[in-house]
Amino acid sequence: MKVYLAGPIKDTTDEEMRAWRQIAREYLGADHVLDPSDRDYRGVEDENIERIVEGDKDDIRRSNAVLANYWRPGAGTAMEILFAWEQCRPVVTVVPPGAVSPWIRYHSDVVVHSLGDGLREIERIVAPRRDHPPVLTGAELKEKWRLHKADALAAAEDATWD
């Protein structure tokens, strides 16, 4: 299991960037997180645009799920949520109480209001259990969806309409 930790990095303090990620590492296990803050480009973003974006996208592709701490709206975190959704990765988004952007809600599988709830949701979604099938990779999910759509189309073609 690998969980990508999406959340603000640009214009954050070390404490704002790292504190919640450290809690997630301890809860999920350090070997189970993909943390973009390990590649800290604060202050030199303009010289590393491709490294930042492609590194984050590669990590999201390698993940089984995304935990997005959207405590402060930001373009990077919003783009990571959208990219994860496009890659068929489950997204659990932590937001402060109050109104949530329809775009964030739409592209999140679960929206919660605390990091603890977010971590429990990630564990529920991703953790392997005897009574729960294993998490599929993005390619496996896409193939399963393709087959599902093909079966549904075949059934629709076979249906008779009154």
Tokens standing for residue 14: 């070390």
Q: Say yes or no to pLDDT of 32 above 90.
A: yes
More confident residue, 136 or 23: 23
Q: Who's near 150: CB < 8 A, 6+ residues apart?
A: none
Question: What is the tens place of the pLDDT at every residue in 116-149?
Answer: 999 999 999 987 543 444 455 556 666 655 665 5
pTM, entire model: 0.77
Instruction: Walk me through the domains of the chain, giving residue ranges and CATH numbers.
Output: 3-158 (3.40.50.450)
- Give the tens place of pLDDT for each residue, 71-95: 999 999 999 999 999 999 999 999 9
Supply the pLDDT for residue 139: 63
More confident residue, 102 or 128: 102
Banded pLDDT at 159 (limits 50, 70, 90): very low
Q: What is the CA radius of gyration of the chain?
A: 18
Kindly state the average pLDDT of the residues 42-71: 93
Question: Residue 10 has what pLDDT?
Answer: 87
Give the strands of the sheet with 91-94, arranged side by side: 33-34, 3-6, 65-69, 91-94, 110-112
* Ranges 37-41, 70-74, 77-81, 107-111: which has the least confidence: 37-41
Average of per-residue pLDDT values in the chain: 85
Residue from 90, 99, 71, 52 nearest 7 by CA? 71
Q: Count CA atoms closer than 13 A to 105's CA, side-chain side.
A: 6
Per DSSP, what are the bridge partners of residue 93?
68, 111
The rounded distance, in Å, linking the Cα atoms of 45 and 126 is 32
pLDDT at 12: 87
